[in-house]
């Protein structure tokens, strides 16, 4: 059993550390982009030096690819790509203002694309000093290491979940496409069989018909 003073200090260290954790503003969305459409999303950065996180994955449509651009408040291109299936990037925002995250489905003339994406704006404020010097110094380091380790594990789990979510959606889309092709193949095959049967009956009737007279067999 820990003494009451140690428990109190440990509790204070937890509170101070949680208050000092990184402030994150994130947006997780799923959107459909029609053929020949350009769609943009926006995130505000309050101060220079903040981190921008950008993740996207094409879930369905065509070859699972999309064009994208990331623009700063001065319309300068920070990141772009063509016919990309997915991406996970972290940028440093050096300019205060509104950043644009744009997707463009210009390569498709008929196919709609379904995209899952995250936009994250992250800032790292300084930790407040403890009320009394040395009050929680003995516990902070070990606690920080444990929490950062857990945070790393959770980020890995989140990335793995995103990966499997994307694989599941793409596999389901492939299955739907295969089922649709099999259906139309079966329809065409049935029509072909019916057509061949009609053609055979017609040929047999023509074969046993001579100068206007029909002979029964």
**CATH at residue 45:** 2.60.120.680
* Angle, alpha carbons 195-200-201 (nearest 5°): 100
In DSSP notation, 121-159 reads EEE-PPPPPPSSTTSSHHHHHHHHHHHHHHHHHHHHHHH
The answer as to whether 206 is a domain residue is: no
* pLDDT of the residue at 20: 41
The answer as to whether 24 is a domain residue is: yes
Structural domains counted in the chain:
1
Q: Which residue range forms the structural domain that includes residue 13? A: 4-169
pTM for the structure as a whole: 0.59
The answer as to whether 217 is a domain residue is: no
Burial classification of residue 10, based on how many CB atoms lie within 10 Å of its CB (0-12 exposed, 13-18 middle, 19 or more buried): middle
Distances (CA, A) of 174 to 4, 16, 95, 171: 61, 50, 42, 5
Chain segment 34-93, per-residue pLDDT in tens:
988 999 999 999 888 888 989 999 888 888 889 999 999 999 999 999 999 888 898 899
The answer as to whether 49 is a domain residue is: yes
The answer as to whether 72 is a domain residue is: yes
> Could you give the CA distance from residue 32 to residue 145 in angstroms, rounded to a whole number?
41
The answer as to whether 200 is a domain residue is: no
The answer as to whether 41 is a domain residue is: yes
Chain segment 126-181, per-residue pLDDT in tens:
445 454 555 555 555 777 777 777 877 787 787 788 778 777 877 887 888 888 88
The answer as to whether 192 is a domain residue is: no
């Amino acid at each position: 059993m820990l003494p009451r003073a140690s428990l109190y200090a440990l509790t204070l260290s937890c509170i101070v550390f949680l208050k000092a954790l990184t402030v994150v503003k994130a947006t997780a969305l799923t959107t459909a982009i029609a053929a020949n459409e350009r769609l943009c999303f926006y995130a505000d950065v309050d101060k220079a030096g903040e981190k921008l996180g950008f993740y996207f994955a094409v879930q369905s449509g065509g070859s699972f690819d999309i064009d994208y651009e990331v623009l700063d408040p001065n319309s300068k291109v920070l990141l772009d790509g063509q016919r990309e299936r997915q991406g996970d990037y972290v940028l440093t925002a050096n300019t205060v203002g509104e950043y644009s995250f744009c997707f463009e489905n210009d390569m498709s003339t008929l196919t709609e694309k379904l995209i899952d994406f995250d936009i994250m704006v992250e800032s790292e404020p300084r930790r407040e000093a403890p009320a009394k010097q040395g009050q929680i110094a003995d516990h902070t380091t070990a606690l920080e290491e444990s929490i950062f380790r857990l945070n790393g594990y959770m980020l890995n789990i989140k990335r793995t979940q995103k990966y499997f979510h994307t694989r599941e959606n793409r596999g389901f889309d492939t299955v739907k496409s295969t089922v649709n092709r099999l259906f139309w193949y079966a329809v065409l095959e049935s029509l072909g069989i019916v057509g061949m049967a009609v053609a055979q009956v017609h040929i047999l009737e023509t074969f046993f018909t001579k100068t206007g007279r029909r002979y029964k067999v």
